[in-house]
Amino acid sequence: MFFIDVQGTLIDDSKKPIDGAVEFIEKLNSDNIPYVVVTNNTKQESDKFLEYLNSIGFQISKHRYLDPLMILDEVVSEKSCLAFGTTQFLSLLENRGYEIHSKSPKYILLGVKHDYTAEEFSNIIETLLSNPDTQLIGMHGTSTYMKHGKRYPGVGAILEMLKFATGRDYRVVGKPSDIFYQKALEKIGADSFREITMVSDDFKGDLQGAKELGMKIVLVLSGKIKSIDEVVERPDIYIPKLSTKLFQYNIEIDNRRRENG
């Protein structure tokens, strides 16, 4: 059983399929191997992004797909917020009835954006320090992300900076939060995270949390991490890119686990 990341694992930063990724999904489908595609998409409505993935060659059904927008209302109970992110993300929130410029927000919602400004960070810090009941929420905990071949700090990195600046903790909607992975576990129909192999290009933002829950973790070097030397802690296995060879590697991981008890 597999949880499979999208950006950097199935598609590159130009949103085209990475070599071998379409074939990997085809193999899962043809062999009826349970899987869920777990993405941190927050720029398009869930059904639209899934439609896009299928339009470029993937055949992923709705019950095998999960993103943070699908569980946002379970994490955020009120729609009074101060939101930051891309224009697409902010429009999605407004279309869902969120007040995104609240002066006394219940939540500060952070999405991915490559051009955050010092003034925006100051606004967030001042709001948190002057409103003790305001909760800081990240749409996901991505460490970094790729854009035009360059790496930028992800939402997870920004959340950690804000925590250091204010002393205020935060919650995460998407990966690597427990609630997100639990929803994926329910979708796949497994009893335990130990049955799952998580595949991603983000060690800290995806795989570390998955490992803590008991999943087997596979790092692909087709996205934000270019060399295993960039990672301090080692995954169960790392591969250049997603391919059907992973099925054999997964057996090796299981055998290793049994040997280690």
pLDDT in tens, 226-248: 999 999 888 989 999 998 888 88
Q: What is the pLDDT of residue 248?
A: 80
Say whether both 77 and 167 belong to one domain: yes
Final residue in a domain of this structure, among 142, 172, 202: 172
63-79 per-position pLDDT tens digit: 999 999 999 999 999 99
Average pLDDT over residues 147-166: 95
Which pTM was predicted? 0.92
CB 173, CB 141: distance < 8 Å: no
pLDDT of 9 strictly over 70: yes
Say whether both 80 and 44 belong to one domain: no
Q: What is the domain count for the chain? A: 2
- Distance CA(36)–CA(61), nearest Å, equals 9
Say whether both 80 and 152 belong to one domain: yes
Say whether both 92 and 161 belong to one domain: yes
Q: What is the pLDDT of residue 250?
A: 74
Average pLDDT over residues 125-154: 94
Say whether both 242 and 213 belong to one domain: yes
Final residue in a domain of this structure, among 125, 151, 172: 172
Final residue in a domain of this structure, among 172, 191, 209: 172
Q: What secondary structure does DSSP assign to 26-38, as a single string?
A: HHHHHTT--EEEE
Q: What is the pLDDT of residue 106?
A: 95
Provide the b/e sequence for 35-68 (b: ≥16 CB within 10 Å). Answer: bbbbbbbbbbbbeebbeebeeeebebeeebbbbb
218: CATH: 3.40.50.1000
CB 3, CB 195: distance < 8 Å: no
180-225 per-position pLDDT tens digit: 999 999 999 999 999 999 999 999 999 999 999 999 999 999 999 9
Say whether both 109 and 163 belong to one domain: yes
Containing domain of residue 37, as a range? 2-69+175-259
